[in-house]
């Protein structure tokens, strides 16, 4: 069986299972199973697959028809131009989160805190773009921190990144000139409507339950005490949460509030700054 023949058999299987963009996923999984670089696939489609590659491809397609995310099958996901290891313990990095990284890198910083770091994709992308900076990533799940630590090592960023088991700010000390977070923000009532792929990701990384705002309440309470004067707080939000999250940050004395859109024009990031004169800023 050639690569072309394998693709022609796989695409209808994925489409029948309701997989969005079945041709894209079929090609990605063929590259994975056959060990072919994505930009070289077309050159090898006429080549016969080895028995091992054919078996691996069939297994990968079977997993995808069960709506397992491609990244969980391949174990990696591209983000900000770099490959990150992902597992069922981590949230799958998404392109819209790159808006947060872009905002973070728009000004220089030296000390970075990433709350709920997951794969470490935000922290490590920011550090890669700011060579003099150091950063701390926190998470409440040890297995997730293991993934982030491994990604830091693979990307050669271990000397500038450390990872800390912490429930938001509970184990964090010191001050930072930049705090970032992509916290769980999906309301509990919205969870059943998510795609099967998203529902396979860890629930704790998707929703804080309730109205979806509890993580922002915790971040708003804790950030002023951990920000240097003029330090920035940048968080990802759901597309309907901009006003509510901005109000939470304003209530803690943060200023320069902005809501930044993603490439589809939806509200995606809230930006805030600690005043130069921080007397009375925050409740911690």
Q: Cβ distance 9 to 3 under 8 Å?
A: no
Task: Supply the pLDDT for residue 266.
Answer: 96
Task: Supply the pLDDT for residue 152.
Answer: 98
Q: Cβ distance 165 to 217 under 8 Å?
A: no
Tokens at residue 225, please?
Answer: 């005490």
Task: Supply the pLDDT for residue 82.
Answer: 96
DSSP string covering 195-218, please? -HHHHTS-HHHH--STTS-HHHHH
Task: Supply the pLDDT for residue 279.
Answer: 62
Backbone angles phi, psi at 93, to 5 degrees: -55, 140
Alpha helices, H only, the chain: 3-16, 22-34, 41-44, 51-65, 70-74, 98-104, 121-128, 142-154, 196-199, 203-206, 214-226, 242-251
Task: Supply the pLDDT for residue 16.
Answer: 97
Within the chain, which residues score under 70 in pLDDT? 278-284
Assigned CATH for 76-273:
3.40.50.150
Task: Supply the pLDDT for residue 276.
Answer: 86
Task: Supply the pLDDT for residue 278.
Answer: 62
């Amino acid at each position: 069986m050639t690569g072309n023949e394998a693709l022609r058999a796989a695409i209808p299987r994925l489409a029948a299972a309701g997989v969005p963009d079945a041709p894209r996923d079929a090609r990605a999984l063929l590259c994975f199973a056959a060990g072919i670089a994505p930009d070289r696939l077309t050159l090898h489609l006429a080549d016969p697959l080895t028995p091992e590659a054919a078996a691996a491809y069939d297994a990968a397609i079977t997993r995808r028809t069960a709506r397992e995310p491609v990244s969980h099958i391949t174990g990696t996901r591209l983000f900000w131009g770099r490959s990150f290891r992902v597992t069922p313990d981590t949230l799958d990095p998404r392109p819209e989160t790159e808006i947060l990284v872009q905002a973070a890198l728009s000004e220089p910083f030296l000390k970075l805190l990433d709350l709920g770091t997951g794969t470490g994709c935000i922290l490590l992308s920011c550090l890669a773009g700011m060579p003099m900076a150091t950063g701390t990533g926190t998470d409440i799940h040890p297995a997730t921190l293991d993934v982030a630590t491994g990604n830091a090592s693979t990307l050669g960023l271990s000397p500038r990144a450390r990872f800390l088991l912490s429930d938001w700010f509970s184990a964090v000390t010191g001050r930072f000139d930049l705090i970032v977070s992509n916290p769980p923000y999906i309301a509990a009532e919205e969870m059943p409507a998510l795609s099967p792929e998203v529902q396979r990701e860890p629930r704790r990384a998707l929703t804080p339950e309730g109205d979806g705002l509890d993580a922002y309440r915790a971040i708003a309470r804790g950030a002023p005490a951990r920000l240097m004067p003029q330090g920035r707080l940048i968080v990802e939000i759901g597309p309907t949460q901009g006003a509510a999250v901005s109000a939470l940050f304003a209530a803690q004395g943060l200023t320069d509030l902005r809501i930044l859109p993603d490439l589809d024009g939806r509200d995606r990031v809230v930006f805030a700054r600690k005043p130069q004169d921080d007397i009375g800023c925050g409740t911690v």
